[in-house]
Amino acid sequence: MIRYHSHKQLSLAGFDWPFQSALDENNCWVKMSQCIPWDALAEGYYQDLSLKQGRPTKDARLVIGAVIIKRKLCLSDEETVAQIQENPYLQYFVGLAGYQMEAPFAPSLFVEIRKQMGQGVFEIFQVAIIDALEEAKAKKKSQSRTGHSTSEPLSRRQ
């Protein structure tokens, strides 16, 4: 059974944080969360799951974010869960609405993820992420071009 809602990124100001200081918008996990096409990855993640049978899944953003953290930081299943539990930036990255003291899931979830996600799902993830990065690069390049005078050719501007 799938329970899904769109994962348009929360604003950092909207992240419920019990401490007085604000989270840093320039943190690498905050920036990375803005570049990842979460909805496209969720589609790939949910493609082989049943809409009507089975127990409800963990949210795709949580699962995909945890896999990214695990791979990026080269952590064990247990250490990945512990890092997410301790770090508000990682909790923001995996899509939690606010900081929570308890672990978001048991480390054994990674065993289920490995069983469920075959190479095809990872290929979908790879294509979606590469497409999003290429789009971001093109947008950045376009914005940098608009900052120059359009009266002379690009080759002379550099």
Least confident of 6-20, 35-49, 58-72, 73-87: 6-20
- Asked if the model's pLDDT at residue 135 lies above 50, the reply is yes
Q: Where are the domains of the chain?
A: 25-116
Cβ partners under 8 Å of residue 40, min gap 6: 124, 128, 131, 132
Residue 41 buriedness (CB in 10 A; 0-12 / 13-18 / 19+): buried
pLDDT in tens, 118-129: 667 767 777 777
pTM: 0.70
Residue 147 has a pLDDT of 65
pLDDT in tens, 73-86: 999 999 999 999 99
- Asked if the model's pLDDT at residue 143 lies above 60, the reply is yes
User: How far, in Å, CA of 150 to CA of 80, rounded?
Assistant: 49
16 DSSP β-pair partners: 98
H/E stretch holding 129 reads helix 119-146
